[in-house]
Amino acid sequence: MDNIRHVISVSGGKDSAATLLLALERCPREAVVPIFCDTGNEHQAVYEYLTYLEQALDITIHRLKADFSEQIAAKRRFIARDQRTRRVNGRRVRWSNKAKRRALEVLHPTGNPFLDLCLWKGRFPSRKAQFCTEELKRNMAVSFQIDLIDADYRVVSWQGVRRDESLNRRNAKKIERIGPSLYAFRPLVEWTAMQVFDYCASKNLRPNPLYSQGCNRVGCMPCINVSKMELREIASRWPEHIARISEWEHMVGCVSKRGASTFLTDSHDAADRREVFADLNIHARVDWSKTSRGGKQYDMLAFLEPVACSSAYGLCE
Ligand code: SF4
């Protein structure tokens, strides 16, 4: 039917690549609309893989990027004018003049969605407050789909979700009506990771090279939910990403009222934020990732250079 658009959220990973292949196989080409929500916290290999997909499949992937300039401008106004007198637990709520000066110097849009989101919020996302997914991916995809619905299309949102991926996804439905003219379709719900790789291989589509370099999923580099082993692998292979996160920690710390914020976890009961930062900043976490036995002993294997494929999926040929 002419008024249906099949929107495929492409992440640069295997599941969304397989989903895109299925959509192109089953639907008229002109009705397939691939999108990519760029978080700005991606590995270069992801952008290169998107270009590869476009060339291999003869398609265009729409790049969507969140913009937080207005929110940052509003926060600047708020901080500059903050004169609150209220106290909570004996502590003043308002920004001190010193904190105001520190924040206003740094608080400007950078054009990087992930960093600008954290500058606006004055903190990094965490497992308990995972606002990155919502602000950088979900909201972007939903507003793209709403624009299509406003233009009189019915939209099917294809999602590369598998039930065996996580407990949260174990009950994922294959087809679901989300709202008027909007449906979710998850063709891979019953597939395993290996089936996905095999299917892509059967269509001569190569996987993102990050899978053969120690990543068991492709997403932010690093993700706030990165495992100890992945963090160790990232620090060893791509130290420039650790250096970038360290720079972001400095910037986000400056716009935080408390003066410090860490990328990997922001929940720490110490009252002194400098102590928290010293324990949990990205370099301290990388050091911890190289330890074994509850973080006490250094694991000698961690100091060896990565020389071979360490894919969690055994993709090495
Ligand atoms: S991949 Fe991780 S850091 Fe990136 S948006 Fe998703 S949860 Fe947040």
Atom of ligand 1 nearest to the CA of 137: 5
Q: Is the CB of 220 under 6 A from ligand 1?
A: yes
* CATH architecture group of domain 4-67+129-213: 3-Layer(aba) Sandwich (3.40)
- pTM recorded for the entire structure: 0.88
The pLDDT tens digits of the residues spanning 269-315 come to: 555 666 677 778 999 999 999 987 666 665 655 544 444 444 444 34
- The answer to whether 249 touches 262, Cβ cutoff 8 Å, is yes
Name the residue with the closest Cα to ligand 1, atom 4: 220
Looking at residue 83, its pLDDT comes to: 86
Looking at residue 271, its pLDDT comes to: 58
In degrees, rounded to 5, the angle at the alpha carbon of residue 174 between the alpha carbons of residues 173 and 178 is 70
d(CA 23, CA 124): 35
Is 123 a residue whose pLDDT tops 90? Answer: yes
Is 130 a residue whose pLDDT tops 50? Answer: yes
Looking at residue 309, its pLDDT comes to: 44
What is the β-pairing status of strands 32-37 and 175-179? Answer: unpaired
Q: What is the mean pLDDT of residues 157-169?
A: 90
Q: Is the CB of 46 under 6 A from ligand 1?
A: no
Atom of ligand 1 nearest to the CA of 225: 2
Q: What is the mean pLDDT of residues 40-55?
A: 97
Is 73 a residue whose pLDDT tops 60? Answer: yes
Looking at residue 152, its pLDDT comes to: 96
The candidate with the shortest Cα–Cα distance to 220, out of 138, 132, 134, is: 132
Q: What is the mean pLDDT of residues 105-133?
A: 96
What's the CA-to-centroid distance between 82 and ligand 1, angstroms?
A: 32
Q: Is the CB of 130 under 6 A from ligand 1?
A: yes
Is 148 a residue whose pLDDT tops 50? Answer: yes
What's the CA-to-centroid distance between 11 and ligand 1, angstroms?
A: 11
Residue among 37, 139, 225, 227 whose CB has most ligand 1 atoms within 8 A, to mutate: 225
Looking at residue 122, its pLDDT comes to: 96
120's tokens: 């606006």
284's tokens: 């301290």
Is 91 a residue whose pLDDT tops 90? Answer: no
Could you tell me the CA-to-CA distances from 141 to 28, 63, 301 in Å, in that order? 21, 10, 41
- Residue ranges of the chain that CATH labels 3.40.50.620: 4-67+129-213
What's the CA-to-centroid distance between 97 and ligand 1, angstroms?
A: 34
Atom of ligand 1 nearest to the CA of 125: 8
Q: Is the CB of 219 under 6 A from ligand 1?
A: yes
**What mean pLDDT is reported for the chain?**
89
Is 251 a residue whose pLDDT tops 90? Answer: yes
Atom of ligand 1 nearest to the CA of 224: 3
pLDDT band at 71 (very low <50, low <70, confident <90, very high): very high
Q: Is the CB of 310 under 6 A from ligand 1?
A: no
The pLDDT tens digits of the residues spanning 205-242 come to: 999 999 988 788 898 999 999 989 899 999 999 999 99
At residue 36, φ and ψ (nearest 5 deg) are: -135, 125
Looking at residue 315, its pLDDT comes to: 43
Q: What is the mean pLDDT of residues 155-169?
A: 91
| Phi-psi sector, 110: left (phi>0), alpha (psi -120 to 50), beta | alpha
